[in-house]
Amino acid sequence: MLESDVRTLRKAYAEAARESDPFEKFNRAQGAGQVRDPYPGLAAMRALAPVHKLDLRGLLGNARPLLGGMPDEIYTVLNYDGVWEVLRDGERFSSAGYARSMGIVMGHTILEMDGDEHIRYRGLISKAFTRRALEHWERDLVRPVVAEYVDRFAARGSADLVRELTFPFPVRVIACMMGLPEEEHERFHRLAVELISVGIDWESGMRASRELGELFAPVVAARRRAPQDDLISVLAHAEVDGLRLSDEEIFAFLRLLAPAGAETTYRSSSNLLFGLLADPEQLEALRRDRALLPQAIEEGLRWEPPLLSIMRTALVDTELCGVAIPAGAAVSVNLGAANRDPSRWHDPDRFDLFRAPKPHIAFAFGQHVCLGMHLARMETRVLLETLFERLPGLRLDPRAEDVHITGMIFRSPLALPVVFETGR
């Protein structure tokens, strides 16, 4: 991270604190509209050393997030091998530090669990994401929801794919999967964003946590009495080796799923669309050959993951890429920088759906690999298939100026203005 990016992010936190709209507040805090491209700075740092010790107190000062337990110093890991090593080794690097940050508003979730506890609870929750369940969600939920949003603008010949599709549809899917009443979907989305904005607005984040619990409670109670075909019913009745989830444990997982399912899918699908729309030849190749969809989705995730970094805590005095890291130190693994490591990918800053496939780390790795990654991939595939079927001649609006991806932590384009032929 260059000093100019740090100054920009510091300004972004200050501006976010004055913003009233929760969606705009969260985006501002991530540097959206201000940090255009952090990758040159990350590459410059990685070229000097794969692991850097940063003084957050000196860099961000009073503009640091307000979460309790925010460290004064942090070790940031920027190369693929280093990130892979941290994520695969739960004996040396723990996720428990999230209990002092997001755990405050979400509750005790698999995000902060390690070892056997994580395995037990992940086994319970994973029952909601089986292959059979995903086939059902695709057929009966995702395809109809995407089609409904496309219906609203298909006859117009133009649209903003962010505001009119990629932003609203994933949260609608998650809310429907949970079985929440339709009249609560908009409130659910707002509360999910306020929840993860707790670092810049403590009171709003804590209030959102309480209100989400109040929103979930009657639905969980009803599903315990009479299960239906939704995710909350699965969680309410799941059992592994005699272990079942309490109401509070279900609330905690739903609080975790709300922003994870909505924010990351919206941003990753938007980023992939931008990569394709910005390169008409690759877009046309994919339009002609849908068999390229899986590798296009993986390349989009590698090239511009929606979330650049996640946290771990060193459990022991250790060494990583030749750098000594003391026990208790905060370690930030930069997924975005790892996915653009030139020692692993040729010309890594270029979006190229024809690139020879190699595993990326957009969904993390190891014990804590993203539980919803198959859902996210399926949603993105359905989105692209629908757009190709319904919007012939889809391309960036030639009148649009400077469309680009932005943000320092969460990244996505602010808008995707497109034009297309009508009649389908």
| Phi–psi pair at 382, nearest 5 degrees | -65, -40
208, β-bridge pairs:
none
Element holding 5 (H helix, E strand) = helix 3-17
pLDDT band at 363 (very low <50, low <70, confident <90, very high): very high
Confidence of residue 20 (pLDDT cuts 50, 70, 90): low
Mean pLDDT calculated for residue range 197-216 = 88
DSSP state of 260: I
β-strands 412-413, 309-314: how paired? unpaired
Residue 27 lies in a domain: yes
Q: Which amino acid is at 148?
A: E
Residue with tokens 């540097």: 31
User: pLDDT band at 68, cuts 50/70/90?
Assistant: very low
pLDDT at 86: 97
CATH code (residue 279)? 1.10.630.10
Tell me what the pLDDT averaged over the chain comes to. Answer: 88
Closest CA to 163 of 399, 415, 365: 415
| Residue 424: inside a domain | no
Relative to beta strand 73-77, strand 330-334 is parallel
For position 195, what pLDDT does the model report? 87
Neighbouring CB atoms inside 10 A of 204's CB total 17
Q: State the pLDDT confidence band at 58, using cuts at 50, 70 and 90.
A: low
> Would the pLDDT of 22 be above 70?
no
Beta sheet of 158-160, edge-to-edge order? 158-160, 417-419, 395-396
- Of 49, 103, 2, 66, the closest CA to residue 320 belongs to 49
Task: Say how many domains are in the chain.
Answer: 1
Q: What is the pLDDT of residues 144-164, one digit of tens each?
A: 999 999 999 999 999 999 999
Which pLDDT does position 423 carry in this prediction? 60
Largest CA distance in the chain: 64
Confidence grade of residue 30 (pLDDT, cut at 50, 70, 90) = low
Give me the sign of the Cα torsion angle 137, 310, 81, 88. Answer: negative
Q: E-assigned strands of 195-326? A: 309-314, 318-320, 323-325
Contacts of range 235-238, beta carbons closer than 8 Å, 24 or more positions apart: 235/124, 235/125, 235/127, 235/128, 238/124, 238/125, 238/127, 238/128
Closest CA to 294 of 347, 360, 356, 353: 353
pLDDT of amino acid 64: 46
Instruction: Using a pLDDT cut of 70, give the percent of the chain over it.
Output: 88
369 lies in a domain?
yes
Task: Indicate whether 1 pLDDT > 50.
Answer: no
Query: Which of 154-168, 250-264, 394-408 has the lowest average pLDDT?
Result: 250-264
Whether 407 contacts 27, CB under 8 Å: yes
- Grade residue 54 by pLDDT with cuts at 50, 70 and 90: confident
| Amino acid 371: pLDDT | 87
Using alpha carbons, list the distances in angstroms from residue 201 to 74, 204, 412: 22, 6, 22
Residue 18: predicted pLDDT: 55
Nearest to 130 by CA among 252, 234, 239: 234
Q: Are the CB atoms for 306 and 411 separated by under 8 Å?
A: yes
> How far is the C-alpha of 216 from the C-alpha of 210, rounded, in Å?
10
Q: pLDDT tens digits for 289-348?
A: 999 999 999 999 999 999 999 999 999 999 999 999 999 999 999 999 999 999 999 999
Residue 213 banded pLDDT, cuts 50, 70, 90: very high
Assigned token pair, 12: 């972004």
Spatial CB neighbours of 315, under 8 Å, sequence gap ≥ 6: 91, 92, 93, 94, 327
Place of tokens 């690759």: 282
Please, which pLDDT band fits residue 66 given cuts at 50, 70 and 90?
A: very low
Indicate if the pLDDT at residue 67 is higher than 50: no
pLDDT at 4 over 60: no
Which domain does 406 fall in, by range? 3-419
Which carries the bigger pLDDT value, residue 369 or residue 337? 337
Residue tagged 């014990």 (tokens) = 367
Domain annotation covers residue 32: yes
DSSP single-letter state for residue 53: E
Which of the four pLDDT bands, split at 50, 70 and 90, describes residue 6? low
C-alpha dist (Å) from residue 96 to 108, 110, 148, 159, 243: 10, 9, 41, 43, 21
Q: How many residues does the chain have?
A: 424
Residue 416 or 125, more confident = 416
Closest CA to 262 of 370, 188, 365: 188
